[in-house]
């Protein structure tokens, strides 16, 4: 399950970081700190999201067992 989680994490991390950074740039906030914090928030939030998604995929898959 952890290998699957890391693959899903790479995809969700990219998507969430992009969404958050785009939101910060749209709000026209000054400086680099809001952009860095938005990217960090996307990275941190993608960890439980990818864990949940991997767990659901493994749970619903009849042929796989949890590692």
Write down the pTM of the prediction.
0.82
Give the whole-angstrom CA distance, residue 21 versus residue 36.
Answer: 8
Nearest of 41, 4, 6, 38 to residue 22 by alpha carbon: 38
The confidence score (pLDDT) of residue 2 equals: 86
pLDDT per residue as tens digits for the range 35-45? 999 999 999 99
Statement: residue 65 has pLDDT above 70: no
């Amino acid at each position: 399950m952890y290998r699957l989680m890391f693959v899903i994490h790479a995809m969700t991390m990219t998507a969430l970081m992009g969404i958050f950074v785009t939101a910060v740039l749209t709000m026209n906030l000054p400086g680099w700190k809001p952009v860095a914090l938005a990217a960090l928030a996307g990275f941190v939030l993608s960890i439980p999201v990818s864990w949940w998604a991997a767990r659901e995929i493994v749970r619903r898959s009849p042929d796989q067992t949890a590692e």
